[in-house]
């Protein structure tokens, strides 16, 4: 069974990557265990917001925003009747994706090339570029 990490951010690119992967699941003979991951950027302003509101409020915010970002990808998988688990992390996007893959022993990272982040160059988004650099498992990028 291939343990596949699919980072998504709610962008069109991420959703179409998930949709594409759904069609290609027969590539993997022993089946696939899909882990959707949304990474939320840490709250800016240092701890100025959390020191007033408390960490729970900030966490709750990240949780709500994370669920919203996961929703389009989840809808695709639900519609196709494919089982998956979903996760929400907080941190710098690429670093957190790679770290999560390492911690959970994922065999492969599959993601779209252009998310919501700022653009590193014409062809690849900055997160995808960074994930390729940092990852120690194969990375499949879908255009």
Partner 1 sequence: MDFADAAFWVALMQIIGVNIVLSGDNAVVIALAARSLPPQQQKAAVMWGSGAAVIMRIVLTIIAVEMLKWPYLKLIGAVLLLWIAVKLLIPEDENEDGITASGSMAAAIKTILIADLVMSLDNVIAVAAAAKGSLTLLILGLAISIPLVIFGSTLLLKLMDRYPIIITVGAALLGWVAGEMAITDPLVKDWVNANAAWLHYAAPAAGALFVVLLGRTLAARASQEHKAVVDLASGDRQP
Using the rule CB under 8 A, which residue among 10, 89, 107, 120 binds partner 1? 89
CA atoms within 13 A on the CB side of 18: 29
Query: Which 44-73 positions form the footprint of partner 1 (CB under 8 A)?
Result: 44-63, 66-67, 70
* Residue 24 binding partner 1, by CB under 8 A: no
Judged by CB under 8 A, does residue 10 bind partner 1?
no
Instruction: Give residues with Cβ within 8 angstroms of 2, minimum separation 6.
Output: 28, 30, 31, 32, 33, 107, 108
Which residue among 5, 96, 106, 127 contacts partner 1 (CB under 8 A)?
96
Rule CB under 8 A: is residue 3 a binding residue for partner 1?
Answer: no
Stretch that binds partner 1, among 18-26, 82-90, 105-113, 134-142 (CB under 8 A): 82-90
136 binds partner 1 (CB under 8 A): no
Q: Are 130 and 26 in contact (CB under 8 A)?
A: no
Q: CB of 134 within 8 A of CB of 94?
A: yes
Q: How far is the CB of 130 from partner 1 (least distance, A)?
A: 13
Helix, strand or coil for residue 141?
strand
Instruction: Say which DSSP state 25 is in.
Output: G
Residue with tokens 């594409």: 20
Q: Residues interacting with partner 1, by CB under 8 A?
A: 40-63, 66-67, 70, 74, 77-78, 83-91, 96, 99-100, 103, 116-118
């Amino acid at each position: 069974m291939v343990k596949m990490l699919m980072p998504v951010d709610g962008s069109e690119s991420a959703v179409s990557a998930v949709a594409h992967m759904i069609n290609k699941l027969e590539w993997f003979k022993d089946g696939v265990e899909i882990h959707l991951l949304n990474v939320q950027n840490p709250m800016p302003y240092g701890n100025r917001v959390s020191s007033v509101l408390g960490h729970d409020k900030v966490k709750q915010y990240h949780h709500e925003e994370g669920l919203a970002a996961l929703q389009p990808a989840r809808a695709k998988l639900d519609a196709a009747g494919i089982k998956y688990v979903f996760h929400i992390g907080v941190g710098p996007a690429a670093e957190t994706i790679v770290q999560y893959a390492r911690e959970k022993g994922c065999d492969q990272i599959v993601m779209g090339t252009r998310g919501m982040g700022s653009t590193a160059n014409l062809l690849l988004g900055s997160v995808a570029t960074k994930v390729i650099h940092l990852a120690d498992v194969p990375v499949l990028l879908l255009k």
